[in-house]
Chain A
Amino acid sequence: GENVEQHPSTLSVQEGDSAVIKCTYSDSASNYFPWYKQELGKRPQLIIDIRSNVGEKKDQRIAVTLNKTAKHFSLHITETQPEDSAVYFCAASISGANSKLTFGKGITLSVRP
């Protein structure tokens, strides 16, 4: 089955700097890659996703890039703010009936004021 790994497990950045969170996956057939943000004590929420027919997707300060050859994808956050502090989960899935998301272990991002 699919295996998703996230690196590093924790990341600390200064407010205003950029943060990059990387994920690798094992199944070359995976073609759907969402990112979820979970603030302390709250539920995970989707912040951005990408499908394998595109290499990059942006939404304001957030972007995701995908390298299918290397089987990794990354979350980029620019101009970080304290409210970006949270746990970020990446996931991967194969498109098609009855497929499921496989989540990584999560990365804790801390933005220092």
Chain B
Amino acid sequence: DAGVIQSPRHEVTEMGQEVTLRCKPISGHNSLFWYRQTMMRGLELLIYFNNNVPIDDSGMPEDRFSAKMPNASFSTLKIQPSEPRDSAVYFCASSLGLPDTQYFGPGTRLTVL
């Protein structure tokens, strides 16, 4: 299995631009998580899905952030408009169920200038 796949691995954009991060979970996993990691705030859970349904989005910082999971093999996290304080590493993770071992993707390093 290829594991959790994220794209792009690095993204540099200018303030105000739209950013879309993509994730493909491990085949057969029912749960998908989006995290943000910074030195100051550590690892923060933004939103998670179970069977493609958003369960808890209380970690989404504001309306500029949105996430979708149109099917079991694909999810997106969108930031519009982006701001410099959104600069972070964004991880996607998946698991067989809840709670269970979460397998993290390699992350997307986002830099907003």
Q: Which residues of B contact A (CB under 8 A)?
A: 33, 42-43, 45, 48, 50, 55-56, 91, 98-99, 101-107
Does B98 lie within 8 Å of A96, measured CB to CB? yes
Does A106 lie within 8 Å of B43, measured CB to CB? yes
Does B43 lie within 8 Å of A93, measured CB to CB? no
A70 interface residue (CB < 8 Å to B): no
What's the least CB distance linking B45 to chain A, in Å? 6
Query: Which residue in B42, B45, B48, B102 is a CB contact (below 8 Å) of A106?
Result: B42
Which of A10-18, A20-28, A58-66, A97-105 forms contacts with chain B? A97-105
Query: Which residue in B98, B105, B106, B107 is a CB contact (below 8 Å) of A100?
Result: B98
Does B45 lie within 8 Å of A89, measured CB to CB? no
B residues within 8 A CB of A34?
101-102
CA distance A96 to B107 in the complex (A): 27
Q: Please, how many residues of chain A have a CB less than 8 angstroms from a CB on the other chain?
A: 22
Name the residue of chain A whose CB is nearest to the CB of B53: A98
CA distance A99 to B102 in the complex (A): 13
CA distance A34 to B101 in the complex (A): 8
What's the least CB distance linking A21 to chain B, in Å? 15
Does A98 lie within 8 Å of B50, measured CB to CB? yes
**Residue contacts A-B, CB under 8 angstroms, 20 given:** A34-B102, A42-B106, A43-B91, A43-B104, A44-B91, A46-B101, A46-B102, A89-B43, A93-B98, A93-B99, A95-B99, A96-B98, A97-B98, A99-B98, A99-B99, A101-B99, A103-B43, A103-B45, A106-B42, A106-B43
